[in-house]
Chain A
Amino acid sequence: MSFRVGVVTFPGSLDDRDAARAVEMAGGIAVPLFHASDDLKEVQAVVLPGGFSYGDYLRCGAIARFAPIMNSIVTAASHGFPVLGICNGFQVLCESHLLPGALTRNSNLHFLCRDQKLKIENTNTVWTSGFKPGQEIVIPLKNGEGSFQCDDETLKILESEGRVIARYVDFDPNGSRNLIAGISNERGNVVGLMPHPEHAIESLMGPSTDGLTFFTSALQQLVGR
């Protein structure tokens, strides 16, 4: 059977259609979810896509966290419901306290769009289980505020618990602590990732098809439940 994966559209979401395409290409059914409703429409996982929700005014993700749909997602996530936040979605997850830390302005202060090499550090999360440990992948990175920051204690916890799921390799694009590109919560069902796997699902349109594995991983995990 096919699994239903929700893709949330906030005002200002940009990569929602791309995320839906990735879900479908991985074999799932993409279900559009709108910010103003708290109805999860019986989806079994959710993707918070990239973009500039609410124009990123005030602070990236700061307003989106108060959207009705986020109430339902926060509640569901605490019960192990799989959530992937990409770029702005990662920022929303941090603002919602589903993930620790914050994403701040890139260290060189410019928006940066590039094909970025990553090393997958943790393959035990719902969204990364399809990768081999230590696998290197190339997917697009594109953001102005992608520098992952947290306090020393949080960093120690993230590292010691293996919750850094991906790290930048060969090039430091934004000054993130420990070159962190993505993290998960303790349980591994909530993952935030700064680069964009949904833009690396077709070789003609992206630098690779490496990104698809994030989506097939989750669908495989759902089959196993």
Chain B
Amino acid sequence: MALDTVTIATQNPDTTQPFAELGLKDDEYARIKTILGRRPTSSELAMYSVMWSEHCSYKSSKVHLKQFGEKAFKSDALLVGIGENAGVVDIGQNYAITFKIESHNHPSFIEPYQGAATGVGGIVRDILTMGARPIAIMDPLRFGLADAPDTRRVLPGIVAGIGGYGNCLGLPNIGGEIVFDETYAGNPLVNALCVGVMKHEDIKLATAHGTGNLVVLFGAKTGGDGIGGVSVLASETFNAAKPTKRPSVQVGDPFAEKVLIECCLEIFKADLVIGIQDLGGAGLSCATSELASAGSGGMQINLEKVPLRDPSLSPEEILMSESQERMCAIVAPEKIKHFMAICRKWDVTATVIGEVTSGERLHITFNGELIVDVPPRTVAHDGPIYNRPIKKPDYVDQLAKSTFEVPLPTDADEVKAAVLKLIASPNIADKSWVTSQFDKYVQGNTVLAQPEDSGLIRIDEETHLGVAVSTDANARWSYLDPYEGAKLALAESCRNIATSGAKPLAVTNCLNFGSPEDPGVMWQFAETVRGLADAALELGLPITGGNVSFYNQTGSVAILPTPVIGVLGVIQDVRKRTPMGIPSADLDLYVIGKYNGNLSGSEWAHLHGEIGNASPVADLNMEKRLVNFLLDGQPIFESAHDVSNGGLAATLVESVLKNKIGARVDLNDVANALFSETPGRVLVAIKSSATNEIVSLAGKYQIPIYKIGTTGGTDLEINQAVISIEELSKAHTETFPKLFG
């Protein structure tokens, strides 16, 4: 095909272009023509199509997401907010933490290993781009039912992909979630979170300014992988009738990324870049247009200089390629020699592909022919914005009016059988089969990792400063009431942070939903965003960034609305963290917080095919007091563990199994007490000598506390039911190996 230049586009305005195949709607194509005053060249069309895709432009979510800015809590800790590659938070001692979570759902369904691997690679580059050394990753995952054939296909591949890539980068994997629900069949969710650390003065931004400064592409060579991935994969619902989309999934090389990390960190240390951007979704189209539009606007790129793995790639394909492990930096001419020397040291290919110009347009030439001439902002930021129709789905009120019943154990034998059944169910069962495939030790700073309430990492070896991270979602509550569900997810994530002994500081999110073209899904989304914005404001936490993943649906069935909320916390002395496991015998066990006995949305109901009728209503004032109670009471807690999925039953079993120390508890209304997932509760163990202190803390923060028993022995005794640690361990640990080998 002949090169389609700006001159040709002007001369032949009526050429038919495949905009629909590239995912652009009629009116979007018309808008591009209006912006340019002519038809786009094929290269320009490629750029607009990927950058205006749902994945890159947030065109359906933008009108809602702006609440995160409008309602934002004004936090002094926030150093860089929404809009950059990742938010940055001040944690004191001149340290800054950057963290972000992103989805790689669709690619992971098509090619589980590479999809999940490159999901890790992408989020790590986002963190690196801020100037930070990546220090930990987490992976919230969701799958169809555990025994479904497709789950057996995608789960092992996704887990191996995360491990294969993350382990090779030398990043400890410190937590995440694994949840099964039939709505995720065909739509597995692979979210990846990365945390990075830097000094305040080291923060880098994605901007290109200073006429004459050089645009350097470095890292892996550009190949044909992932072409059209953004527009075709992330923005369209899967349709069985269409041809396979495997070639659109990127292929990762973790070794190249590891070397790129070390190379970048050395370049940052020598202060050699003015701006930097990673190449992720939409590749060079995204990097050049975003860098240029964040600067003065002018940039000249010589596309033929891009080093290619596949020399047959056309200019359009080079612009759209999503080849992994690439970065784009803006470097002053006097520093380019030093920059190149560091790249050579790490055997990283680096090429000057253009420069910042004094104009306001992004010009891309190919062997001297002008093929792109656009105002970069129109590509990067002025994409279409849709205020899509919203309608509360009928199921919400129908369920709210409905009643449901699940069998409840009464006598000792039934209680024992019920507890063993619950802890063997895939959502509650031990996840070591998965987490033991991840390196949690590398870097030598991991204080807590899965299955603890939060992952906790030491930042400074001298001062013992550390950070904690947790991710949470309860999609069933979000289904029943997305507004409350979002608030509850944030509250739970904060509670997990405080349970480990850290103070919540900032929020990130990954919002996974069905098709935005379905008004019911759009209602779920709008309510979720409203709930999250309200809750963050009330809890006094800034939202530092996030990610939206739409089109997670098969046919007309959408996934449960799944807002995964990540919270970052700070702990002044990591030696004072509170672990989840009961550490010794003869301690008193308390449940902090009140339960209401409602089983709606609980795992126990789910096990019996019921979702329930109503979500709990978040009591954020109480949650705030609870966080303060936990932080204040930390010195007297020998262990602490959040009550969430699986209720008190799961919490008790996990606390007992961690160090294999038994417990004996007496519970009224035993079935509801065990299986209700009433939010805002934590199980703590204290020495009986600390009784006065816990009582006085409860008074101070007006949080009800209930002494339910003591620790010790080799059994978990619940009223008259006696379950040996051996029985618990067997039930808890056998499920995953049985399912996945």
**Residue ranges of A at the interface with B (Cβ–Cβ < 8 Å):** 11-12, 14-15, 17-18, 21, 36, 50-52, 54-57, 110-114, 140, 142, 144, 196, 198-199, 201-202, 204-206
Whether A11 and B458, one on each chain, are in contact in the complex, defined by CB atoms closer than 8 angstroms, is no
Whether B443 and A17, one on each chain, are in contact in the complex, defined by CB atoms closer than 8 angstroms, is yes
Whether B442 and A14, one on each chain, are in contact in the complex, defined by CB atoms closer than 8 angstroms, is yes
Q: B437 at the A/B interface (Cβ < 8 Å)?
A: yes
Return chain A residues, CB-CB under 8 Å to B160.
110-111
Return chain A residues, CB-CB under 8 Å to B253.
55
Contact pick for B441, options A17, A52, A56, A113, CB 8 Å: A113
Whether B441 and A142, one on each chain, are in contact in the complex, defined by CB atoms closer than 8 angstroms, is yes
Which of A12, A54, A111, A113 has most B Cβ within 10 Å? A113
Closest chain A residue to B156, Cβ basis: A110
Quick check: which of B114-122, B162-170, B205-213 contacts chain A, the rest being far away? B162-170
Known: A111-B164, A144-B167. 10 other contacts (CB 8 A): A11-B255, A11-B346, A36-B345, A110-B160, A111-B439, A113-B436, A140-B441, A142-B439, A142-B442, A204-B575
What is the 8 Å Cβ interface bit string for chain B, positions 436-475, against chain A (1 contact, 0 not)?
A: 1111111111110000000000100100000000000000
* B139-170 interface (Cβ within 8 A of A): 160, 163-164, 167-170
Closest chain B residue to A53, Cβ basis: B255
Return chain A residues, CB-CB under 8 Å to B169.
14
Q: B382 at the A/B interface (Cβ < 8 Å)?
A: no
Which of B164, B346, B441, B447 has most A Cβ within 10 Å? B441
Whether B436 and A52, one on each chain, are in contact in the complex, defined by CB atoms closer than 8 angstroms, is no
Whether B446 and A12, one on each chain, are in contact in the complex, defined by CB atoms closer than 8 angstroms, is no
Contact pick for B170, options A15, A21, A36, A114, CB 8 Å: A15
Whether A11 and B437, one on each chain, are in contact in the complex, defined by CB atoms closer than 8 angstroms, is no
Q: B71 at the A/B interface (Cβ < 8 Å)?
A: no
Question: Once bound together, how far apart are the Cα atoms of A125 and B258, in whole Å?
Answer: 34
Question: Once bound together, how far apart are the Cα atoms of A112 and B253, in whole Å?
Answer: 21
Return chain A residues, CB-CB under 8 Å to B440.
113
Whether B437 and A205, one on each chain, are in contact in the complex, defined by CB atoms closer than 8 angstroms, is no
Return chain A residues, CB-CB under 8 Å to B347.
11
Whether B436 and A54, one on each chain, are in contact in the complex, defined by CB atoms closer than 8 angstroms, is no
Whether B255 and A113, one on each chain, are in contact in the complex, defined by CB atoms closer than 8 angstroms, is no
- Known A18-B442, A111-B163; judge A205-B436 contact (CB<8 A): no
Q: B574 at the A/B interface (Cβ < 8 Å)?
A: yes
Count of chain B residues near A, Cβ 8 A: 34
Whether A206 and B436, one on each chain, are in contact in the complex, defined by CB atoms closer than 8 angstroms, is no
Return chain B residues, CB-CB under 8 Å to A204.
447, 458, 574-575
Shortest Cβ gap from A140 to chain B (Å): 5
Closest chain A residue to B446, Cβ basis: A205
Closest chain A residue to B449, Cβ basis: A113
Whether A113 and B445, one on each chain, are in contact in the complex, defined by CB atoms closer than 8 angstroms, is no
Return chain B residues, CB-CB under 8 Å to A112.
436-437
What is the 8 Å Cβ interface bit string for chain B, positions 242-264, against chain A (1 contact, 0 not)?
A: 00000000000111101100100
Question: Once bound together, how far apart are the Cα atoms of A36 and B259, in whole Å?
Answer: 14
Shortest Cβ gap from B501 to chain A (Å): 13
Return chain B residues, CB-CB under 8 Å to A21.
444, 461
Pick 5 A–B contacts, CB within 8 A, sort by A: A11-B258, A18-B444, A111-B439, A142-B167, A204-B574
Which of B164, B439, B443 has most A Cβ within 10 Å? B439
Return chain B residues, CB-CB under 8 Å to A55.
168, 253-256, 258
Return chain A residues, CB-CB under 8 Å to B443.
17-18
Shortest Cβ gap from B460 to chain A (Å): 13
Closest chain A residue to B347, Cβ basis: A11
Question: Once bound together, how far apart are the Cα atoms of A205 and B455, in whole Å?
Answer: 12
Question: Once bound together, how far apart are the Cα atoms of A122 and B133, in whole Å?
Answer: 39
Whether B259 and A205, one on each chain, are in contact in the complex, defined by CB atoms closer than 8 angstroms, is no
Whether B170 and A51, one on each chain, are in contact in the complex, defined by CB atoms closer than 8 angstroms, is yes
Question: Once bound together, how far apart are the Cα atoms of A52 and B435, in whole Å?
Answer: 20
Question: Once bound together, how far apart are the Cα atoms of A202 and B163, in whole Å?
Answer: 25
Whether A199 and B163, one on each chain, are in contact in the complex, defined by CB atoms closer than 8 angstroms, is no
Question: Once bound together, how far apart are the Cα atoms of A174 and B445, in whole Å?
Answer: 26
Return chain A residues, CB-CB under 8 Å to B258.
11-12, 14, 52, 55
Shortest Cβ gap from B383 to chain A (Å): 37
Question: Once bound together, how far apart are the Cα atoms of A12 and B167, in whole Å?
Answer: 11
What is the 8 Å Cβ interface bit string for chain B, positions 635-650, against chain A (1 contact, 0 not)?
A: 0000000000000000
Contact pick for B439, options A11, A54, A110, A113, CB 8 Å: A113
Return chain B residues, CB-CB under 8 Å to A206.
441, 444
Question: Once bound together, how far apart are the Cα atoms of A144 and B167, in whole Å?
Answer: 10
Question: Once bound together, how far apart are the Cα atoms of A57 and B574, in whole Å?
Answer: 37
